[in-house]
A and B are shown apart, each in its own frame.
Chain A
Amino acid sequence: MAAGAGRCCRAGLSHGALLSWALPFPVALSQAVLSRTAGGALGTPRWGRAASSSAAAVSGREGPQPREGSVRRRGRTPQFVRSAAPPRTERMAVDQDWSSVYPTAAAFRPASVPLPIRMGYPVKRGVPPPKEGNLELIKIPNFLHLTPPAIKKHCAALKDFCTEWPSALDSDEKCEQHFPIEIETVDYVSSGISIWNPKARVVTLRVKLSNLNLDDHAKKKLIKLVGERYCRETDVLTITTDRCPLRRQNYDYGMHLLTVLYHESWKTEKWESEKSEEDMEEYIWENSHSQKNALDTLLQIKTSENVSNVTKEELLASEVVKNYRNSVIALKNNSETESNMSQYKESVKKLLNIQA
């Protein structure tokens, strides 16, 4: 007996431990003994097979009482083995509360999931392996704790902590009208060696210049100061900051940049008066070569016709000169199109009184 006990203690699950566990469940042990003897009678041909990892095979091993003569045990199977209780799935009702079986994320337990799932590469001319002892089912993340009723229960409990979106801001245009500045930040969630991501400190600030209080000179100066960060098509200024180590610092720096740009663009420096025609963003007809040439030509025409001296202001205010001015501005500022060119042609014809 002592030698037997000593041998068992060296094995994983010792006989002494079995007995101490059996104390609260004396009934279960006797039942297990009965099932073992019954299994032993039926399971004698199964001795030749290698030991499988499933719990159900435990009942296939021979019981403590030898059946006919001495019975040999294969490998290091302990003499007294606890047989597994029937799986919980047999006692589950169809309308049970599933969220109490899997309340949180847990590994797949074949005895707790009443579904006949098979997973894995199928045996030759066979089917994929069953769920008992199936490592593939345990490896893959399961969503058994997030069934639709469970999600609805969670959301019902969380609904108290949510607040309503203001109903007045139901479209993007209204949001932009009341809240013109957009700040974009990115959060990263992943599992790895460290939970921090250096890209998380980048802050992008976007604002439409039409929402800022800028006059004509200030807007042009701001666009020149900002350079590539301004998009002409959408009239959006984008400032991306990541030079500070923290996101809040980057946000503060972005707002500081916007403030400085705004106030600097309202200032007029002394050297800004030296702005030449090459620096201009758009074509201005007043005091340009085109205006000078047009007025000189018209004055010459008038003196050749011997009309009384007409002043420059009268010429500028006349319809033909205004048409000519508009067509030249359209040609220079916008690209050359068929309509622009034909408009220019008509205005020149009217200016010089040419009938085609």
Chain B
Amino acid sequence: NLMGARLSGSYGDTQEPKTNPLVSISDEPETLYKRLSILIKGHDKAVLDSYEYFAVLAAKELGISVEKVDKPPKTIERFTLLKSVHIYKKHRVQYEMRTHYMCLELKYLTSSTAAVYLEYVQRNLPEGVAMEVKKTKIEKIPEHIRKPVWDTLPQVEETEVKS
């Protein structure tokens, strides 16, 4: 009987789920993000395609629903400059900058999940690629907008009209 009592503690540990010592849970309520819209800009389409595969797979693995993956058309910025330092107006040189875009829309994330996903995805952002993240947070109506404050204030006679 004594042997059974001592062993039951260790058996109880194996049945419980193992908690990660790095995870700390706080009591404050999570902010909710209805939509996370990530726009990736880069000069090379192949790099953007690889990054899209990585971001979509990461979202799937972390359990985030991907609403859609949009690929807006590329923009080309061209300008013509003089080829020479001094005179020779007839001889010019033309440059162009091509920017490819990729838009990833994710739905229904909590702030912890969004922080984890965004940090993972931003740390692995390749060189020369830029990102814009548009977060849509949803909130309840705050307490002071539930009812007009004039109901609670005492009646005050207004003698003059405020201009």
Contact = CB atoms under 8 A, between A and B. Distances in A.
A269 B61 contact: no
B134 A184 contact: yes
A105 interface: yes
Interface in B43-66: 44, 46-47, 50-51, 54, 57-58, 61-63
B131 to A, nearest CB: 4
Contacts of A259: 142, 144-145
A354 interface: no
Chain B: number of interface residues, binned into ranges:
35 or more
Contacts, number: 148
Contacts of B147: 213
Contacts of A213: 145-148
Contacts of A271: 161
B58 A178 contact: no
B141 A181 contact: yes
Contact of B108 (A154, A165, A263): A165
Interface residues of A, number: 55
A258 B161 CA distance: 24
A344 to B, nearest CB: 40
B76 interface: no
B146 A186 contact: no
A146 B44 CA distance: 18
A238 to B, nearest CB: 13
A189 B112 contact: no
A154 B130 CA distance: 22
B61 A183 contact: no
A338 interface: no
Main secondary structure of the interface of B (DSSP, over half): mixed
B124 A162 contact: no
B34 A175 contact: yes
A179 B32 contact: yes
Contact of A162 (B62, B131, B140, B158): B62
A163 B110 contact: yes
A161 interface: yes
A158 B20 CA distance: 11
Contacts of B133: 186-189
A151 B146 contact: no
Contact of B54 (A146, A163, A207): A146
A283 to B, nearest CB: 28
Given A141-B126, A271-B161, A152 B61 contact: yes
Interface of B: 20, 22-23, 30, 32, 34, 44, 46-47, 50-51, 54, 57-58, 61-63, 108-110, 112-113, 116-118, 120, 122, 124-142, 144-150, 158, 161-162
19 contacts: A140-B46, A140-B47, A141-B128, A143-B51, A155-B61, A160-B23, A161-B23, A161-B112, A165-B109, A182-B137, A182-B139, A185-B135, A185-B137, A186-B133, A188-B131, A188-B133, A189-B133, A212-B145, A267-B150
Q: Which 8 A-B pairs have the closest CB atoms?
A: A155-B61, A141-B126, A266-B148, A190-B130, A179-B138, A189-B131, A162-B113, A160-B20
Given A155-B62, A155-B120, A263-B150, 14 more contacts: A140-B46, A141-B129, A151-B57, A158-B120, A161-B112, A162-B62, A165-B110, A175-B32, A183-B137, A187-B132, A189-B133, A191-B130, A213-B147, A262-B148
